Structure 1
Amino acid sequence: MRFRHPDGSTVHLAYSTHVHPAEDLDGVIAQLDGCSSLVRKALDVPVLGIGLWLAHELADQLANSPAALNRLRRALGRNALEVVMLNGLPYADFRAKVVGQQVYLPDWTQPERLRYTLDLIEVLAKLMPTDAAYGSISTPPLAWRFPWSRRRDAVARQAFDRLQVRLAQVGTNAGRRIRIALEPEPGCVLEMVPQATHWLTPYAGSALIGLCLDTCHLAVQFEDPAASFAVAQAAGVEIVRSQLSAALHVPDPRDEDAQRLLNEFAEPKFLHQTREWGGPGVDNLDQADQLSGHAAWRVHFHVPVHAPPRAPLTSTTGVLEDCLNHLVGGPHPLTHHLESETYAWSILPDGPTNQQELAEGIAAELSWLRQRIVAHGLEELT
Structure 2
Amino acid sequence: MRFMHPDSSTVHLGYCSNIHQAEDLDGVIGQLARYAEPVRERLGVDRLGIGLWLARGVVTELVADAGSLRRLKAELRARGLETVTLNAFPYAGFHREVVKKDVCVPDWADEARLRYTLDCARVLAALLPDDAERGSVSTLPLAWRRPWPGERAETARRALERLTVGLGGLEAWTGRRVRVGFEPEPGCVVETTSQAVRELGGLDPDRLGVCLDACHLAVQFEHPAAALRQLEDAGLPVVKLQASCAVEVHDPADPAARAALRRLAEPRFLHQTRTATAGVVHGVDDLPDALDGRLPADTGPWRVHFHAPLHAAAEPPLRTTADHFARVLAGLLDRLSAGCDHIEVETYTWSVLPEQPIDLARGIAAELAWVRDRFTELGLKEDRS
Same fold (TM over 0.5): yes
Q: Which amino acid aligns with 1:191?
A: E
Residue in 2 aligned with 1:360?
Answer: 362
1:372 alignment partner AA: R
Which residue is equivalent to 1:211?
A: 210
1:243·1:339 contact (CA, 8 Å) conserved in 2?
yes
Deviates more, 1:82-91 or 1:270-279: 270-279
- Displacement, 1:70? 1.0
- Residues 197 and 211, structure 1, Cα contact 8 Å, conserved in 2: no
Among all aligned residue pairs of Structure 1 and Structure 2, give the percentage whose two residues are the same amino acid.
Answer: 48
Deviations 1:130-160 (A, max 9, x none): 1111100000001100001211110001111
Verify the 8 A CA contact 1:4 1:10 in the aligned structure 2: yes
After TM superposition, give the deviation of residue 308 of structure 1 in Å.
1.6
The match for 1:375 is 377
- TM-score scaled by structure 2? 0.97
- What is the match of residue 64 of structure 1? 64
Cα-to-partner distance string for 1:180-230 (whole Å, 9 max, x where unaligned): 0000000000000111122221214x4210010000000000011111111
- Give, as a single letter, the amino acid of the residue that structure 1 aligns with 2:374: R
**Distance between the aligned counterparts of 2:112 and 2:283, measured in 1?**
31
Q: Taking structure 1 as the reference length, what is the TM-score of the superposition?
A: 0.98
Deviations 1:33-67 (A, max 9, x none): 11011100000111000000000011011012111
1: CA distance, partners of 2:316 / 2:134: 41
| Local SS of the residue matching 2:84 | strand
Report what 2:109 is aligned to. Answer: 109
Q: Distance in 2 between matches of 1:369 and 1:345?
A: 17
Instruction: For residue 273 of structure 1, report the CA deviation from its aligned partner.
Output: 0.2
In structure 2, distance between residues paired with 1:126 and 1:40: 22
In the aligned structure 2, how far is the partner of 1:228 from the partner of 1:67?
44
Residue 221 (structure 2) pairs with residue 222 (structure 1)? yes
1:351 Cα deviation (Å)? 2.0
Q: How many residues align?
A: 378
Kindly provide the amino acid, as one letter, of the partner of residue 93 in structure 2.
D
After TM superposition, list the pairs within 5 Å mapping 1:189-200 onto structure 2. Answer: 189-200=189-200
Are 1:341 and 2:346 an aligned pair? yes
Which runs of structure 2 are paired with 1:230-379 in the superposition (5 Å)?
A: 230-278=229-277, 279-288=281-290, 289-294=293-298, 295-353=300-358, 357-379=359-381
How far apart are residue 352 of structure 1 and its match? 1.3
Per-residue Cα deviation, 1:14-37 (whole angstroms, up to 9, x for no partner): 100001130000000000011011
Structure 2: how far apart are the matches of 1:158 and 1:319?
A: 35
Separation in 1, partners of 2:199, 2:172:
26
1:173 to partner: Cα distance: 2.0
Partners of 1:238 and 1:197 lie apart in 2 by: 11
C-alpha RMSD of the superposition: 0.8
Deviations 1:278-307 (A, max 9, x none): 242100000012112111100000000111
Instruction: Structure 2 unaligned segments of length 5 or more: list them.
Output: none
User: Is 1:157 the equivalent of 2:157?
Assistant: yes
Kindly report which structure 2 residues correspond to 1:52-131, keeping only aligned pairs within 5 A, or say none. 52-131=52-131
Query: Which amino acid is 1:318 matched to?
Result: D
Contact 1:138 1:183 in 2 (8 A): yes
> Is 1:207–1:237's contact at 8 Å kept on the other side of the alignment?
no
Which residue of 2 is the match for residue 134 of structure 1? 134
Distance 2:383 2:63 in 1: 31
The equivalent of 2:3 in structure 1 is 3
After superposition, what is the alpha-carbon deviation per residue over 1:338-359, rounded to whole angstroms, capped at 9, x for unaligned?
A: 0000000000011214xxx100
Stretches (4+) displaced over 4 A = none
User: What letter is aligned with 1:151?
Assistant: E
CA deviation string 1:49-99 (max 9, x = no partner) = 000000001101101211110111111011110000000000000110000
- Write the distance in 1 (CA, Å) between the matches of 2:26 and 2:54: 12
The 2-side partners of 1:221 and 1:161 are apart by: 28
Residue 112 of structure 2 aligns to a residue whose secondary structure is helix
Q: Secondary structure at the match of 2:370?
A: helix
Where in structure 1 are there 5+ consecutive unaligned residues? none
Cα distance in 2 for partners of 1:82, 1:331 equals: 27
